[in-house]
Amino acid sequence: MRIGLLTEGGYPYADGEGGLWCDRLVRGLAPHEFDLYALSRTASQEEAGWVTLPVEIHRVRTAPLWCAEGDGATHGRRARRRLHTHYADLAAAVCSGAPRSDEGALRVQKDRFRKGLYGLADLAREEGGLVAALRSEDAVRILERACRAPGALRAAHDARVPDLLAVAGLIERALRPLSLDWYAESDARGAHSGGAGRGGLGGVDLCHAASGGTAALPGLLARHFFGVPLLVTEHHVPLRSHYLAAAGRGSTPAVRALGAAFHQLLTAEVYDRAALITPGSAHVRRWQERCGAAPHRLRTVHPGLDARRFAAVGEGPAGDPHTLVWAGRIEPGKDLVTLLHAFAEIRRAEPGARLRLVGRLAPGAEPAAYLAHCRELAQELCPWNRVEAAEDAGGAPVSFEELSEAEADSADLAAAYASGAVVVLSSVVEGFPVSVVEAMLCGRATVSTEVGAVVEAVGGTGLVVPPKDPAALAEACLALLRDPARRDRLGAAARSRALELFSVDENVERFRALYLEIVSHYPVRRPHTDEEGTPMPFAHPAETRVPGAWAEAARPDSTSTPTTWGVAAGAPRESDLLAPASTVPGTPARPSSADGPVVASGAALRRVPTWAVLDETAAARRATRASA
């Protein structure tokens, strides 16, 4: 089948989020074909370039979210009237102060948001983009009237002109996919024909959004325009990220309240319209249920990690019994300050202990300043002479090592885990703890803080302590450093658990089954056609849904010969039972049985159209009646 993969700020950009997971999914789900639709968040992300794309990706369409260039669309009086009506519905829903306990009012709010959203989508498809219109003075005035209306949010009443401009810009940025030209049903030869072209989301069998929110909006529109089913995967909760980002930008209460209301309504619409939702952990699933996702649509699928990278370490000898290892992305949420204070206590109890911090710096100025602060704090808490540390075989008690994106995916990271006996996680905010699972694959005992999906990942194979508690973190690390037998038992159990639950193969097979489950509930929406536009009703037999040699032969663009269900040479054929092809005007001669097995599809072996056979039979009957 053909999958439309939807991303925002992720794959295929080199510094995008979740790129490794998307790449493994695409490669593992061959022979399914993928069309990639990517939204970029920043100019630097586009400048960084793309990762190497696999052959399973047939088309890539991109669009920026970081600039609001005019689309040049002009709207007449009737179009502007429609725009004002639909945007007023959207703004009224966003500004509504309906209490969460009033189900009727919440239903009306969601219906009005849905009406405004899809009304704007229809208008954009018929009349052109809405980038300039959604940032215009008319849009700001409509938003102001909604904020001043009775029953609006209390914070919305205090919104001033700068706040309204900021909210209008936020809404336009989130609704940027409405103005894109991604929604064609097919290219000139048909999206399923295997030909080149600029087909749109209307030509895919399934849309798979790598996150919710704006990334899933093109999938919502494909469902609205063409009935394409939507699958949404979330390894974290975008709605929660929007809350935290708004608070961190120092926005006014009105902007934060209206922005949160908009993203909450968009998230609820995505959850309502998605065929299935796949959270990456039970922690994310609880958030999704709290945000309105129906439990019967949720399927928890843990991220898959490549165990082969860590096989040599997991099956090899134990690391230095006095070394603690931390690995991850260097940013304030990882709370290295607490880890350094805990290590100071460990160092006092075990003077030979060492801490190795290995990771890559998160983009932005704040992570760089945070790293500099941590270096100074480490020198203050665990002072050492640099000359003596260089002469000492063990080096400094605390070492900082930065890895590039390529090094983080190479053997260097596995070697870092191999160098220590215990791996530590001190985060205060965490989704799925990738570094902890990597350490488990290496057979290392772990000490982690109880955040995100840590307990779900670790199970009973590691120690878990409260976040921001240096004393508890130090006590747990000392317990494992002083007990090698316990450390080895936990490491072996952790490796066994990670291999069973968090492998790439397990992740890929779960999504393969989910794709088939979703498509099986949706009827075929368009007939397959060949290069000349002739319908091919049997171009997608059931065998194309099942992996194996026969699936390759049954694919429309395949030139191989079927091995099991193909017609053998010399066997009776459909062409022997129907009227000869030469008797049907405009139909090419059919191949004889001596030509070998008939491939499932192809313009050169096109079947006699059913209507031609029926017309010929009817003509013969009329001639018989006339002669009688």
Angle at 210 between CA 206 and CA 211, to 5 degrees: 120
Give the number of domains in the chain.
4
Query: Are residue 522 and residue 586 in the same domain, yes or no?
Result: no
For residue range 527-563, list pLDDT tens digits in order.
Answer: 666 777 777 766 655 545 555 544 444 444 444 443 3
Task: State the average pLDDT over residues 485-514.
Answer: 94
Query: Are residue 466 and residue 599 in the same domain, yes or no?
Result: no
- pLDDT of 502 reads 92
Query: Are residue 518 and residue 592 in the same domain, yes or no?
Result: no
Residue 268 inside a domain? The answer is no
Residue 261 inside a domain? The answer is no
Q: Is 236 exposed, middle or buried (0-12, 13-18, 19+ CB in 10 A)?
A: buried
For residue range 187-245, list pLDDT tens digits in order.
Answer: 433 433 333 344 689 889 999 999 998 999 999 999 999 999 999 999 887 776 766 66
Query: Are residue 366 and residue 399 in the same domain, yes or no?
Result: yes
Is the confidence at residue 609, as pLDDT, over 60? no
Buried b (16+ CB within 10 A) or exposed e, 355-393: bbbbbbebeeeebeebbeebeebbeebbeeeeeeeeeee
Residue 263 inside a domain? The answer is no
Query: Are residue 17 and residue 89 in the same domain, yes or no?
Result: no
Instruction: Output DSSP code: residue 11.
Output: T
Residue 594 inside a domain? The answer is yes
Task: Supply the range of the domain harboring residue 372.
Answer: 307-502
Query: Are residue 51 and residue 198 in the same domain, yes or no?
Result: yes
Tell me the pTM.
Answer: 0.78
Residue 265 inside a domain? The answer is no
Termini Cα distance of the chain: 53
Query: Are residue 469 and residue 377 in the same domain, yes or no?
Result: yes
Query: Are residue 358 and residue 487 in the same domain, yes or no?
Result: yes
Query: Are residue 346 and residue 335 in the same domain, yes or no?
Result: yes
Query: How many Å apart are CA 16 and CA 48, to the nearest integer?
Result: 10
Residue 203 inside a domain? The answer is yes
- pLDDT of 478 reads 96
* 187 Cα distance to chain centroid: 25
**CATH code of 51's domain:** 3.40.50.2000
**Domain's final residue, options 470, 494, 526:** 526
Residue 110 inside a domain? The answer is yes
Is the confidence at residue 174, as pLDDT, over 80? yes
Query: Are residue 491 and residue 377 in the same domain, yes or no?
Result: yes
- Residue 395 confidence class, pLDDT cut points 50, 70, 90: low
Query: Are residue 362 and residue 213 in the same domain, yes or no?
Result: no
Least confident window among 241-255, 504-518, 596-610: 596-610
Is the confidence at residue 603, as pLDDT, over 80? no
Residue 151 inside a domain? The answer is yes
Query: Are residue 479 and residue 403 in the same domain, yes or no?
Result: yes
